Structure 1
Amino acid sequence: MLFNSWIFLLGFLPVTLAGFFLLGRRSPFMSAAWLAGASLFFYGWWDLRYVPLLLASICFNYGCSTWLASGPAWRRKAVLTAAVCANLALLGYYKYAGFLVASVAHLLAQPLPVLQVILPVGISFFTFTQIAFLVDTYRGQVRERRFVHYLLFVTYFPHLIAGPVLHHKEMMPQFADRKVFRLSAENMAVGASIFLIGLAKKVLLADNLAPFAGALFNQPGEPSLLIAWSGVLAYAFQLYFDFSGYSDMAIGLSRLFGVKLPLNFDSPYKAANIAQFWRRWHMTLSRFLRDYLYIPLGGNRHGGARRYLNLMITMVLGGLWHGAGWNFLIWGFLHGVFLGIHGAWSSLRLSSQSTAWKIFATALTFVAVCTAWVFFRAPDLASALAILGGLYGGNGLALPDALARHLAPVQPLLVAMNVSFYLGGGAAFIDSWGWIGLAALLAFGCPNTQQIMRLVEPALDAKPASSRMAWRPTRYWAAAMAGLALASMLSLNRPAEFLYFQF
């Protein structure tokens, strides 16, 4: 069931909201149980066969958490180690077993039985969420005695499929407040606004950019420079608006229930360096990798060389978390290299605070990120290398004939510059760059969702309460949201999955 589908918007969501608030009048426990049950139904809609797997994982980790809450230190540490290993083994089997068998077969040049393992949707997210809970319980930071509340924490449908990766303390304490179980016009207005902005990002921007990205990555051939960049930029902005749209929709949906989720996306393409990019892109995953991998490895506490090694290990494993394949490993490796270069450059203290430098640094960071996206999106290494060849001029510069006719007077000069013409594709070429230009304008030149909502929503503002602007609905705001909703609804004839569902 997709957030951007009619069955969700007109069926599942209103029924779940109605049950939650009606039961909340009588019993917060029953209301929480209803929401947990609805979340399981939401998950089962994808594939009912994997609901027992999800429940088994939840029961196992809940049982382990009760052992971690008390007892001698040696036993608690042993339980934590065994539980984390069990979670990683489950994730490893479903996500990486086929890749490992294929890699071993290729290395040995011997045919091996092919493992046909269907990846359970959301397994990476509910596994990481529970690992974080176990570690936090071991550290004495959280404890959950009520199974229904733990069930709700893991299965909560706004974040179950594609994040954000939550800490228990960020969500469940809110259910101790009875105000959560009371229908609030403010929560409805704020939640619906954030949801509609996210829906528009998905169906009006990301889905319209998808065909231009697919045209390159599905059949790369030997793309020329402009064709390669149009496809790569189309994918970069498709992924940007697809994932930020999902994150907005998850936060907005949760707010309808009176629950505030952490931000997960903060204009990452505006980052002036790669470290800043990772503080803005998939923020909760970056936090997880930092807190539960990079810092336990030693972080930056053991000198520069060890720090760069820890960064590389973290990013390579982060790449593999996204998918089982050499492309994802190379993508993570590249980001490890980028972070290492940034660290070395920062130590020289040569950066400037001038506007020109910030523009250059932002552009350079964006180009580096787009280069790495080639491996993230390409179906195999051969395709990725072919696209990279075109991206940096290896196949020359080609123009569609629609443009070539207008440039006929200067054709000899263009030929001398290795600019070639090809037949057809002029309209698609112009359309692709039109959509890319619009996407770039919105991504680089406009405020993001939380910046927009700070004008109307104190909870998303980091300023002191005295300086916040109180939320006030207006007719203009309502009209803008109605227009956005109408435009989005008219585009729901073919709902497309979110890109991060595959991870």
Structure 2
Amino acid sequence: MINLQPYSSPRYFLILLLGLLPIMIGLYHGKRFRVYETIFSLVFLVLTFGGDHWQQGVALIIYIAYQFILTLAYVHYRKTRNQTGVFVGAVLLAILPLTVVKFTPFLAGGKITLGFLGISYLTFKTVQVVMEVRDGTIKDFDWKLYLHFLLFFPTISSGPIDRYRRFKKDYETIPDRSAYLEDLEKAVHYLFLGFFYKFILGYLFGTLWLPSLQHWALMQRHAFGGLGLSWALLGYMYDYSMYLFFDFAGYSLFAIAISYFMGIKTPPNFNKPFAAGNIKEFWNRWHMTLSFWFRDFIFMRFTFWFMKKRWIKNRIRISQIAYLVNFLIMGFWHGLTWYYIVYGLFHACAIIINDIWLRYKKKHQAQIPSNKFTKGFSVFLTFNVVCFSFLIFSGILDKLWFM
């Protein structure tokens, strides 16, 4: 059986574009071939999770069955009742498979690996649906559409993380010919930009330069001792940051492009993040669907819950605690290693400091200059703070300090 990693080879794109042709022709003529789209998606899921990856395929089937039964049960329950304990239980059960997948390698010493590619993004979708059903914002739940939403193959491996109501609107609305032609134009643009990001810039920063910079950083650490700080490590920091962006942004652009070909306007994941003037603005530009998901379903709900309990009356303190919780969970989600957790705490502290500065700046507007130089310096400072956080995230400090 052919085994294809999403967006990894010319063969994948060739098969993908051939399979998309009937869908594109149908949408051009104002029709959505739902049965063909379902078969088409299932074929690509088999190609992704079949063959040598059959264990992942089995895990995906079990996971989808579990989440489908759980969500359907909660939707049925929510029609007549709305007890908080049941809602919390449903959310905890929804994140249980992801928790097991994250903790099993740690507890088993790395010898056992469960799960499948994209389990995190599917979990975020499921939790979002359960929460919005509870809030009443999802009133018309369609189980067939829910399955299509979960298994929408362009985004299943690495996002972006769509929302059920937004996806439902696109899926049920067939664009007119002129609007679809505009979507196709955007899709082609995103596709070629993704090729440039992933296979040219990502290759340049990741494959050509990054291993050499890591080698020299490790060599200088062994030669000169200390904390391992060196010009090679500084170069590694900037190079890894560029690689992380172009590689992931490239994947995201591929997913968005294929979605647009299929008449689904999957939201963007990046918006010039390194042009951000402060750390909060950075998170409004970087991996946006993830950061907005954490904002809406962790930060905001934790803040509301804390205010409702009235354990702390100061709203500033509540938001600071919420930032710590939000980014600490994000750190744990990346993995159970110290550098992922420190990465999360680093960003929480950075945002807290940034909020303190913005409040101070607002009170002393007359004394604090605002011009092209200060704005440029803000971008420069934010860029370097972010790059340093990515240095932590990369794990190279673990090799420099503990090997």
TM-score (norm 2): 0.83
Cα distance in 1 between the residues matched to 2:96 and 2:330: 16
Q: Is the 8 A contact 1:188 1:256 kept in 2?
A: yes
Work out which of the two has the higher radius of gyration on C-alpha atoms and give 1 or 2: 1
Query: 1:55-70 maps to which residues of 2 (within 5 A)?
Result: 55-70=64-79
Cα distance in 2 between the residues matched to 1:288 and 1:330: 21
Q: Is the 8 A contact 2:30 2:176 kept in 1?
A: no
Q: CA deviation at 1:61?
A: 3.8
Cα distance in 1 between the residues matched to 2:347 and 2:236: 21
Q: CA deviation at 1:183?
A: 11
Q: 1:179 to 1:366 in 2, by over 3 A?
A: closer
Cα distance in 1 between the residues matched to 2:329 and 2:229: 33
Cα distance in 2 between the residues matched to 1:72 and 1:87: 19
User: Residue 133 of structure 2 corresponds to which residue in structure 1?
Assistant: 137
Q: CA deviation at 1:216?
A: 3.7
Unaligned runs of 5+ in 2: 222-227, 308-312
Q: CA deviation at 1:214?
A: 2.9
> Identity of counterpart residues, as a percentage?
21
Query: 1:126-275 maps to which residues of 2 (within 5 A)?
Result: 126-143=122-139, 145-179=141-175, 184-211=180-207, 212-217=209-214, 220-221=218-219, 222=221, 225-275=230-280
Q: CA deviation at 1:96?
A: 2.1
Q: 1:2 to 1:354 in 2, by over 3 A?
A: same
User: Residue 359 of structure 1 corresponds to which residue in structure 2?
Assistant: 376
Letter in 1 for 2:212: A
Indicate whether 1:286 and 2:295 are aligned: no
Q: 1:285 to 1:352 in 2, by over 3 A?
A: farther
Q: CA deviation at 1:52?
A: 1.8
Equivalent of residue 373 in structure 1, options 376, 390, 401: 390
Q: CA deviation at 1:306?
A: 2.4
Q: Decide which moves more: 303-312 or 343-352.
A: 343-352
Indicate whether 1:13 and 2:17 are aligned: yes
Cα distance in 2 between the residues matched to 1:72 and 1:139: 12
Q: 1:224 to 1:72 in 2, by over 3 A?
A: closer
Q: 1:5 to 1:58 in 2, by over 3 A?
A: farther
User: Residue 329 of structure 2 corresponds to which residue in structure 1?
Assistant: 317
Q: CA deviation at 1:25?
A: 7.8
User: Residue 94 of structure 2 corresponds to which residue in structure 1?
Assistant: 87
Question: Where has structure 1 moved over 6 Å in runs of 4 or more?
Answer: 23-27, 180-183
Letter in 2 for 1:355: K
Letter in 1 for 2:183: N
Q: CA deviation at 1:7?
A: 2.4
Indicate whether 1:3 and 2:7 are aligned: yes
Q: Is the 8 A contact 1:64 1:79 kept in 2?
A: no
User: Residue 347 of structure 2 corresponds to which residue in structure 1?
Assistant: 335
Q: 1:90 to 1:217 in 2, by over 3 A?
A: farther
Q: CA deviation at 1:30?
A: 1.9
Cα distance in 2 between the residues matched to 1:116 and 1:11: 33
Q: Is the 8 A contact 1:251 1:261 kept in 2?
A: yes
Could you give the per-residue CA deviations for residues 374-419 of structure 1, whole angstroms, max 9, x where no partner exists? 1211156353689xxxxxxxxxxxxxxxxxxxxxxxxxxxxxxxxx
Question: What SS class does the counterpart of residue 333 from structure 1 fall into?
Answer: helix
Q: CA deviation at 1:311?
A: 0.7
TM-score (norm 1): 0.68
Q: Is the 8 A contact 1:35 1:156 kept in 2?
A: no
Letter in 2 for 1:18: P
Q: CA deviation at 1:168?
A: 0.5
Q: Decide which moves more: 258-267 or 173-182.
A: 173-182
Letter in 1 for 2:353: I
User: Residue 391 of structure 1 corresponds to which residue in structure 2?
Assistant: none
Q: Is the 8 A contact 2:63 2:97 kept in 1?
A: no
Equivalent of residue 400 in structure 2, options 383, 391, 396: 383
Could you give the per-residue CA deviations for residues 61-99 of structure 1, whole angstroms, max 9, x where no partner exists? 44234325411222xx44432221112221111112332
Letter in 1 for 2:124: F
Cα distance in 2 between the residues matched to 1:68 and 1:229: 55
RMSD of aligned residue pairs (Cα, Å): 2.8
Q: 1:170 to 1:26 in 2, by over 3 A?
A: closer
Q: Is the 8 A contact 1:315 1:333 kept in 2?
A: yes
Cα distance in 1 between the residues matched to 2:383 and 2:172: 43
Question: What SS class does the counterpart of residue 376 from structure 1 fall into?
Answer: helix
Unaligned runs of 5+ in 1: 103-112, 387-503
Q: CA deviation at 1:17?
A: 4.0
User: Residue 317 of structure 2 corresponds to which residue in structure 1?
Assistant: 305
Cα distance in 2 between the residues matched to 1:129 and 1:217: 36
Q: CA deviation at 1:144?
A: 5.2
Cα distance in 2 between the residues matched to 1:11 and 1:32: 15
